Amino acid sequence: MSDDGAGSVRGIRTIAVGALSRVEGEGALRVRVVDGRAEIVEFNIYEPPRFFEKFLVGRPLAEVPDLVARICGICPVAYQLTACRALEKALVVEPDPAVAPLRRLLYCGEWIQSHALHVHLLHLPDFLGYESGFAMAADHPALVEAGFRMKALGNRVMEVVGGRAVHPVNVAVGGFHRWPEAAAVRGLVPDLERGLGDALELVSRVADLPFPTLAPEAEEVALAHPDEYPILEGRIASSAGLVADVDDFRAHFAERQVPWSTALHCLREPGGTPYRVGALARVNLCRDRLPPRAARAAAAAGLGRPERNPFRSIVARAVEIAAACEEGMALAAAWDRGTRGPCAALPARAGAGAHATEAPRGLLWHRYAFDAAGRIEAAAIVPPTSQNQARIEADLRAGLPEALAMDDAGATLRCEQLVRSYDPCISCATHFLTVRIDRP
Amino acid sequence: MSTLPDGDHGAGPVPARRLRVAVWKFASCDGCQLQLLDAVGRWPALLGRIEFVQFLEASSRVEPGPYDVGIVEGSVSTPQDVVRIREVRRQCRFLLTIGACATSGGIQALRNWGRVEDFVAAVYASPDTIEALATSTGIAEHVPVDFELRGCPVDTAQLADVLVALATGRTPRVPSTSVCAECKAAGVVCVAVTRGIPCLGPVTQAGCGALCPAHGRECFGCFGPAEATNLPALSAHYEATGTPRGRLLPLVRGICGWAPAFRAEAERLADAPGEPAP
């Protein structure tokens, strides 16, 4: 937290945080309180715009997975695989049947490392009263070691399948560049089993943390799939009863620009209302499809029915680390290379296609159009953080009365903690945070 | 677990104090900062040599400068960045830039060949609230940099080695050879020679361990150009063996496209476009 200072400016009390820490990327939060009411809550995402959707235009479609990976170093697989599926659907290409389970395993690896990083290094320090995971390690060495162990496990899965944990090189439109060694994939099983043990312990540990009370009404959105916990495939479903094909995303959601942010706000249409995506939304909407041990842990941790307290997303993330390890074990144990070759041939044809997957931080939607020479003509990317941004602002408004009863340092920390509950990935907010509270 | 990457068990001369390290992010994906966290996770003994007195992605601790070492991820792409990087330089005894963005402008430097107004208008409905420079550029184009570590992302072991080197006063062990040399040393079958796939391995800085060729695909230059390169000769070879120029241009104008050697070749290829890509 870089503190821009607290004080009174022209009768309006000011609490300000210049740059929010322990989030991926850069942003600020501004709260202005006049006569005891919160007037403005704005996320100021000042992450410099990087214009991915524009510079993709004219590039060969086969390059897209390598390029969009660079949107986010923490969830590159989400970007790569959403793009691959959108492009494959548009090309009417069906990868070898061994590709889908390998992609799901790769994605499980990303969930494990991303959630382990957020839970241990970014979010837990708020609950246990430390400035960082490094500082927390002095008093809680086993906890931080387990965190790094789970992070390393996720990385390992990504390295075996994808070649590298940050920006994997093995992902291709049509499948993979090379089949991994089946023995190396099966070799992940014992590590994943230990990871499952670590994750189940983590679920019970975080379930008992002291949580601030907050339970705003919020629409939640996630992919839903009849047979599996949603990662790579499914229809878009919401707690308000929406069920839509990924192709129809634009009919139900719209991005709007706000002057205080370089990230676009994505809202539910019609009406322009905020909604929540991410681990908590997924567990709430799809807990009946969690694998059995993760499901039992979720129920024991109190997530057996819809959880309305956004601060408890840390429990949902721990449950999902367990789920990803449990599923990963089954996927790795059963996987063998395909018979048709790792990468399907791509036909020369013009086309357009959309797809959505569940990135660690929530629903991620892509759409591409390309010409007959395979050059990208248009690209649209809606990352999870731009979808959560309006919901975070709404939760902050709901949580402000309790926060503002505290002194300035306490109020600021509470607001930051709430923002971090969403694991906002500001770099991902392609098109994000500093906390500033103005009050009399 | 606690052994440092160069085999140092921490038994060497104990530094009088740990290096005070500050980390800054400019325009980037956070992947190189993540590699820094992973380096600490792999080699916790690093924290016996250095301490992070400012690392916003990982910690709420913010101590004022001056700092022994400043680590910068990301490129300069907004008017504010230009001012901020000068302040960062002023605060740091040693400035280390990490990754493709910080060393050559990164993937977002693809805007440098277009009109930034078009880029803003393509993404934002109200372009006037968005501030962006016409170019995304590496840190060394703005302030003197003491050491550049390449890669998209940087390699965790190379990064840890540079930090240990700084803490112990030795030279970093970062090779200046090409990916091609790493590929041969690893016994990987050459994708360019055996399959006719245009590969940037011969002209790309080593450090990844020839990861892409080992996965049966072309190197796309994410560690930037090697020290000595002859890109026109490589392009001529690929053209003579059947790769259209339209296919070579996006390969060179990629993640490190604004690095001088890649940039010059991309501009040469673009000036004489040849036949379009299939």
The reply to whether B2 falls in a domain is no
- List CB contacts (< 8 A) between B153 and chain A: 73, 164, 166-167
Q: Which residues contact A255 (CB under 8 A, 6 or more apart)?
A: A264, A265, A266, A267, A382, A386, A431
B138 and B207 housed in the same domain = no
Contact B126 A59 (CB under 8 A): no
pTM, two decimals, is: 0.93
Among the partner residues B44, B217, B250, nearest to A59 by beta-carbon distance: B250
B183 and B164 housed in the same domain = no
Q: Tell me the nearest-neighbour CA distance from A222 into chain B, angstroms.
A: 24
Contact A131 B122 (CB under 8 A): no
A332 and A223 in contact (C-beta within 8 Å)? no
The 3-state secondary structure of chain A reads CEEEEEEEECCEEEEEEEECCCCECCEEEEEEEECCEEEEEEEEECCCCCCHHHHCCCCEHHHHHHHHHCCCCCCHHHHHHHHHHHHHHHHCCCCCCCHHHHHHHHHHHHHHHHHHHHHHHHHHHHHHCCCEHHHHHHHCHHHHHHHHHHHHHHHHHHHHHHCCCCCCCCEECCEECCCCCHHHHHCCHHHHHHHHHHHHHHHHHHHCCCCCCCCCCCEEEEEECCCCCCCCCCEEEECCCCEECHHHHHHHEEEECCCCCCCCEEEECCCCECEECCHHHHHHHHHHHCCHHHHHHHHHCCCCCCCCCHHHHHHHHHHHHHHHHHHHHHHHHHCCCCCCCCECCCCCCCEEEEEEEEECCEEEEEEEEECCCCEEEEEEEECHHHHHHHHHHHHHHHHHHHHHCCCHHHHHHHHHHHHHHCCCECCCCCCCCCEEEECC
Q: Say if residue B260 is exposed, middle or buried (CB neighbours under 10 Å; 0-12, 13-18, 19+).
A: exposed
A195 and A156 in contact (C-beta within 8 Å)? no
B73 and B156 housed in the same domain = yes
- Boundary residue ending a domain (B121, B147, B168): B168
What would the mean pLDDT of A197-225 be, rounded to a whole number?
96
The neighbour count for residue A64, using CB atoms within 10 Å, is 23
The reply to whether B110 falls in a domain is yes
B157 and B196 housed in the same domain = no
Interface confidence (ipTM) of the complex: 0.92
- List CB contacts (< 8 A) between B56 and chain A: 2, 19-22, 26
Q: Distance between CA atoms of A393 and A273, rounded to whole angstroms?
A: 12
A388 and A106 in contact (C-beta within 8 Å)? no
A188 and A106 in contact (C-beta within 8 Å)? no
Give residue A46's pLDDT.
Answer: 63
A38 and A400 in contact (C-beta within 8 Å)? yes
The reply to whether B116 falls in a domain is yes
Q: Distance between CA atoms of B269 and B255, rounded to whole angstroms?
A: 17
Give residue A432's pLDDT.
Answer: 31
B146 and B213 housed in the same domain = no
Give residue B274's pLDDT.
Answer: 54
**Greater pLDDT, A207 or B129:** A207
Q: CA triplet A358, A363, A367: central angle to 5 degrees?
A: 100
Answer whether residue A429 shows pLDDT above 60.
no
What is the chain B residue with the closest CA to A56? B110
User: Residue A415 — pLDDT band, cuts 50, 70, 90?
Assistant: confident
B31 and B148 housed in the same domain = yes
Give residue A42's pLDDT.
Answer: 73
Contact B277 A60 (CB under 8 A): yes
B82 and B76 in contact (C-beta within 8 Å)? yes
Among the partner residues B59, B125, B222, nearest to A132 by beta-carbon distance: B59
Contact A48 B81 (CB under 8 A): yes
- Taking alpha carbons only, the member of B86, B73, B93 closest to residue B19 is B93
B209 and B150 housed in the same domain = no
Number of domains in chain B: 2
- List CB contacts (< 8 A) between A28 and chain B: none
Give residue B60's pLDDT.
Answer: 83
B26 and B141 housed in the same domain = yes
* Region of poorest pLDDT, from A38-47, A233-242, A394-403: A38-47
B210 and B104 housed in the same domain = no
Q: Tell me the nearest-neighbour CA distance from B94 into chain A, angstroms.
A: 23
Partners of A381 in the β-ladder: A366
The reply to whether B10 falls in a domain is no
What is the chain A residue with the closest CA to B63? A2
Q: Tell me the nearest-neighbour CA distance from B215 into chain A, angstroms.
A: 6
Among the partner residues A47, A257, A373, nearest to B126 by beta-carbon distance: A257
In 3-state terms, what secondary structure has residue B86? helix
B155 and B214 housed in the same domain = no
Contact B35 A71 (CB under 8 A): no
What is the chain B residue with the closest CA to A125? B59
Give residue B176's pLDDT.
Answer: 87
Hey, what amino acid is at A397?
R
B77 and B214 housed in the same domain = no
Question: Can you read off the two tokens belonging to residue B36?
Answer: 């820094």
Please write the tens of the pLDDT for every residue from A273-318: 999 999 999 999 999 999 999 999 999 999 988 999 999 999 999 9
Answer whether residue A15 shows pLDDT above 60.
no
Give residue B15's pLDDT.
Answer: 59
Contact B47 A427 (CB under 8 A): no
Determine the structural domain holding residue B235 and report its residue range. Answer: 179-271
- Boundary residue ending a domain (B126, B145, B168): B168
Give pLDDT tens digits along chain B (278 positions). 445 665 554 445 555 689 999 999 999 999 999 999 999 999 999 999 999 999 988 888 889 989 999 999 999 999 999 999 999 999 999 999 999 999 999 999 998 988 777 767 776 666 666 678 889 999 999 999 999 999 999 999 999 999 999 999 999 999 889 999 999 999 999 999 999 999 999 999 999 999 999 999 999 999 999 998 999 999 999 999 999 998 999 999 999 999 999 999 999 998 875 544 43
Structural domains of chain A sorted by starting position, each given as residue range(s) with its CATH number in brackets = 1-440 (1.10.645.10)
Q: What is the CATH number of the domain that holds B26?
A: 3.40.50.700
B105 and B187 housed in the same domain = no
Contact B278 A373 (CB under 8 A): yes
Contact A54 B114 (CB under 8 A): yes
- Boundary residue ending a domain (B168, B191, B221): B168
- List CB contacts (< 8 A) between B124 and chain A: 49, 257, 264, 431
Among the partner residues B55, B60, B215, nearest to A177 by beta-carbon distance: B215
Among the partner residues A48, A76, A122, nearest to B77 by beta-carbon distance: A48
Give residue A199's pLDDT.
Answer: 98
Among the partner residues A132, A155, A256, nearest to B60 by beta-carbon distance: A132
